[in-house]
Amino acid sequence: MELRNTIMPFAAAEPARVRPIPKLRILNSRLVLCLCLALGTLVLYSGLTRNGFVNFDDDRYILTNPHVRGGLDGTTIAWAFKSFDEANWHPLTWLSHALDCHFFQLNPAGHHYTSLLLHVLNVMLLFLVLDRLTKSKWRSLAVAALFATHPINVESVAWIAERKTVLSMLFFLLAVAAYAWYVRKPGIGRYLLIAAAFAMGLMSKPMVTTLPFALLLLDYWPLQRMNLPSTPQRDAEASKLEGETPGPSQYSARPIWWLLLEKVPLLATSIASAIVTVMAQKAGGAVSSTIAKPLLLRLQNSAVCYAVYIAKLIWPAHLAVLYPYPRALPAGEVLASALFLVTTTGLVLKYRERRYLVVGWFWYLGTMVPMIGLVQVGNQAMADRYAYLPFIGLFVMTVWGVSEWAETVTQEHRHALWKWPLVAASLSAVVALAFITRIQVGYWHDDTRLWSHALEVTQGNFVAENNLGAILGREGRDEEAAAHFRMASMLEPGDPVSQLNLGIYAQKHGEQVQAIKRYETALLLATDSRVRAGAYANLGQIYYAQRDYVRARAHFESAMMLNDPFPLQLGLLAGKMGDWDAASRYFVQAVSAEPSDVGFLLLAHALKSGGHDENARRAYRQAQSISSDVEKAQQIADQLQAQ
């Protein structure tokens, strides 16, 4: 019976009942493609875990930051949300570093791997979000592959202190994903998810402040929620060009004013974040004045940098950790850059039926605004890390444009074989980018390699001169170090760091008068609290050696007011001046921060001299309990008191 039911008359029944065997589409699985992206990115950046910390903010963010080094606890959480340290308010970034210290202590491999995993998550999220928005899986995969492999993103991943970029991008992409969910069925709960992800992104790094603008672009394409004057013919043509099935948007079209109103809460959040960011940067002395960098020069530099970034997109050569800010720019370079930007914008608007061009180009221009230097922060003219978010727009333009061209060529020649050369060329481009990225990761291996490379590929880089000199100084190569410090001072006479470094060199070689002059110059020039604290402390050491205890104490106290503790020196100074109660307080502070046998012996002497014999005996017993050689420790304490 069953056999007769399965064998049907051929003419009437077979076409209607027999189903084709399902094709296996394992390679098309989004999960498999995500895993391929993740594995490829991990292999590409595998050398990262062999890199160490670098002397460019890694010390301030982690190595010498007691809050971060202490791990994640209630005190660190409270500090993170109140702190304006490093001229930023980014509590989630601080907490991510503290969490790394909790698990990995000061092992750089663990810190690097966290940043790499965040980048991997961003690569996969970018693919999934683009695929969800555009319904173009392979194009979305190509964009994600470019994002994963382009060398300009190495800085954001390989620099531990730049964790804030990859972390904020994670929340930015989550906010876009939440927006894609929200537009299908708008509701307050879904909107709050967007706002929450956006807020966490801003608490990681304020570079994502342009999210409302980016969402408005997505309303234009690919969501097509924007109610614009158009014709069915134009809509169909645009859909074909964008790789979609011709037809109306699956989302309800809205007037522009309604879409703008929808973004107002997010825009208010952006404004609040911008205000807090400016406060933090001013508190940290990071914002350059219009005297140091006039507005006209900033505008000129912005135009040039927009063009230079695109050049590095196409030919990613001479990438450096820092590009020095120019004193002036050639008029021809400025005009050529401005003409390029205006011409490209005009062409994009002319061919606006290709909506991906409009969105990609204005995504690049708009999301770069907070980092382009109109409000100048720091000494750099531009930075590779600033391209992490804006380059997504250029990747979209490139992939969709090349795909459209390939489809046009295929249709003209009526043969699918034309696609294979394009596929081969695209894969070759990705492989070439990956090769350069591997090399670029290697430059972040150590301080010497990083700053030597920066000096090779840039000109007039006084920051690189200072940092390479500091490395040589730590290795005992004082004369080579001093040559770099002098070069830094010559390149930038207003640089306080080179003055401080030259002062240290002079002090180390017994040139006390020259050292004092350098330190006082650094104090006149510096706005950074750490540079000022270092100058005050070194002046205090010079005056202490000269037995000018009043000046020495004043300078050490000035250093302490800038959160650079010198309680041991101040305790010795107070003892020299006969103020034993003050000396005892400073020594208590010293042993509380860093218990040592010498510190407790000094405390015992101060307490005994001040008439507190019982407390002095307790301090002496504490010194005995932690000392491996109390007699030697006593000799060191006596030598310090005799100086």
Calculate the average pLDDT of the chain.
Answer: 88
% of the chain beyond a pLDDT of 70: 88
Residue 5 within any structural domain of the chain: no
Looking at the domain assignment, is residue 40 inside a domain?
Answer: yes
Q: Which pLDDT value is given to residue 119?
A: 98
DSSP one-letter string for 434-496: HHHHHHHHHHTSSHHHHHHHHHHH-SS-HHHHHHHHHHHHHTT-HHHHHHHHHHHHHH-TT-H
Do 576 and 431 lie in one domain? The reply is no
Q: Given the structure tokens 């990225």, which residue do they identify?
A: 437
Q: What does the pLDDT average to over 390-399?
A: 98
The amino acid sitting at 534 is G
Residues 240, 385: one domain? Answer: yes
Give the count of beta carbons closer than 10 Å to the beta carbon of residue 499: 26
Helix count and strand count (H, E) for the chain: 33, 2
Residue 239: pLDDT over 60? no
Do the Cβ atoms of 138 and 116 come closer than 8 Å?
no
CB atoms under 10 Å from CB of 438, counted, come to 17
pLDDT in tens, 416-450: 556 677 778 888 999 999 999 999 999 999 999 99
Alpha helices in 150-255 (DSSP H): 154-158, 163-184, 188-202, 211-220, 232-241
Give pLDDT tens digits for 35-80.
999 999 999 999 999 999 999 999 999 998 989 998 999 999 999 9
For 513, how many CA atoms within 13 A lie in the half-sphere containing its CB? 0
- Examine residue 493 and say whether the peptide bond preceding it is cis (omega within 30 degrees of 0): no
8 in a domain, yes or no?
Answer: no
Asked if the structure places residue 554 within a domain, the reply is: no
CA dihedral 509→510→514→519, nearest 10 degrees, is 80
Domain boundary among 407, 437, 467: 437
Cβ–Cβ under 8 Å, residues 325 and 358: no
Report yes or no on 491 lying in a domain. Answer: no
**Confidence band for 5, pLDDT divided at 50, 70 and 90:** very low
pTM of the model: 0.85
What is the amino acid identity at position 102? H
Which three-class secondary structure state does DSSP give residue 570? helix
What's the pLDDT at 565?
65
Name the 3-class secondary structure at 640. Answer: helix
**CB contact at 8 A, 180 and 133:** yes
pLDDT value at position 630?
80
- The fraction of the chain above a pLDDT of 90, given in percent, is 65
Task: State the CATH number of the domain containing residue 595.
Answer: 1.25.40
* Domain end among 418, 437, 456: 437
Q: Choose among 352, 387, 390, 156: nearest CA to 238.
A: 352
Condensed to tens digits (0 to 9), the pLDDT of residues 143-169 reads: 999 999 999 999 999 999 999 999 999
SS3 141: helix
Q: What is the reported pLDDT for 7?
A: 40
Print the domain residue range for 185: 31-437
- Return the higher-pLDDT residue of 174 and 626: 174
pLDDT reported for residue 588: 81
User: Two tokens at 377?
Assistant: 């922060």
- pLDDT reading at 471 higher than 90: yes
Last residue of a domain, one of 414, 437, 460: 437
pLDDT band for 292, please (50, 70, 90 cuts). low
Please indicate, yes or no, if residue 170 is contained in any of the structural domains.
yes
pLDDT for residue 499 is more than 50: yes
The dihedral region occupied by 86, where left means phi > 0, alpha psi between -120 and 50, and beta the remainder, is: left
Quote the number of domains for the chain. Answer: 2
* pLDDT at residue 379, as a whole number: 79
The pLDDT of 517-532, averaged and rounded, is 91
* CB distance 623 to 633 below 8 Å: yes
Mean pLDDT of all residues in 10-18: 44
Average pLDDT (474-489) is: 95
CA atoms within 13 A on the CB side of 466: 25
| Structure confidence at residue 398 as a pLDDT band (50, 70, 90) | very high
In a domain, 460, yes or no: no
CA 70, CA 64: separation in Å to the nearest integer?
Answer: 11
Burial of 62 (0-12, 13-18, 19+ CB in 10 A): buried
| Phi, then psi, of 254 in degrees rounded to 5 | -130, 155
515 part of a folded domain:
no
